[in-house]
Amino acid sequence: MNPVLASNIRHLMASSGIATATELSRRCGVAQPTLFRWLAADAREPRHSKLQLLADYFGVGLVDLLEKDLSTGEKVSRPKVTARAQVPMVPANRVRDLQNFIREGEYELWPSIHLKPQEEGFAFRVKSTLFEPEIPANSVVIVQASRKPKDGDIVVALAAPSTAPLLRRLATDGIDQYLVPLRADMEMIRVTEDVQLIGVVSEIQTVRQI
């Protein structure tokens, strides 16, 4: 986590006469254990929905809270580090409602190997065996939402009226596009106005359950 956040919280508490995290929790609505993690500069990424409660309470901007020394007003230079991009982990049944789910802010972040930090994407867990062996059950797929799909890509699609996301390989035949199943015993779907392409699968992470 950005260590500037912990320093800024202490500064704001002192400036407002707030002596303990317990008192701050009562005033701003952020859970006490969460505040303890922030004050300890815990390595986990803070949820912006929770952080916004703190920023609103003190009347400061979210970016300033994370990137400015509020005791001096100076922007803090942060060392450049090489890090994995992190994308929202979305339940499969909320992929159709992706933007609303992300706006709610109640999600965990999942590391991506191939996405760049500035690229738009999300992750979801595939529990079904319908896409094996290419996508094993319990895998996490990382979806690049900003990339235009091309022939041969595995894409995530939504086909009305179903709410479950489809994983298919995109194929072009003349002016028509088709979603080709990863298993031979499943039907091929023609891309029409009832089919929405959400993004391209950029990586498949096999997660072992212990």
Looking at residue 94, which CATH number applies to its domain?
A: 2.10.109.10
- Number of domains present in the structure of the chain: 2
Q: What's the domain range around 170? A: 85-205
Rounded to two decimals, the pTM is 0.58
Confidence bin at 3 (pLDDT 50/70/90): confident
Residue 210 lies in a domain: no
For the chain, what is the largest distance between any 2 Cα atoms, rounded to a whole number of angstroms?
A: 70
22-79 residue pLDDT tens: 899 999 998 887 888 788 775 456 677 788 999 999 999 988 888 889 999 888 765 5
Domain boundary among the residues 75, 95, 119 is at 75
pLDDT computed for residue 82 by the predictor: 45
Angle, CA 133 vertex, CA 127 and CA 136 arms, to 5°? 25
Q: What is the pLDDT of residues 120-140, one digit of tens each?
A: 899 999 988 888 888 999 899
Structure tokens at 59: 């009347």
**Both 15 and 98 in a single domain?**
no
pLDDT in tens, 143-199: 998 888 988 899 999 988 877 889 999 998 888 999 998 887 888 899 998 999 999
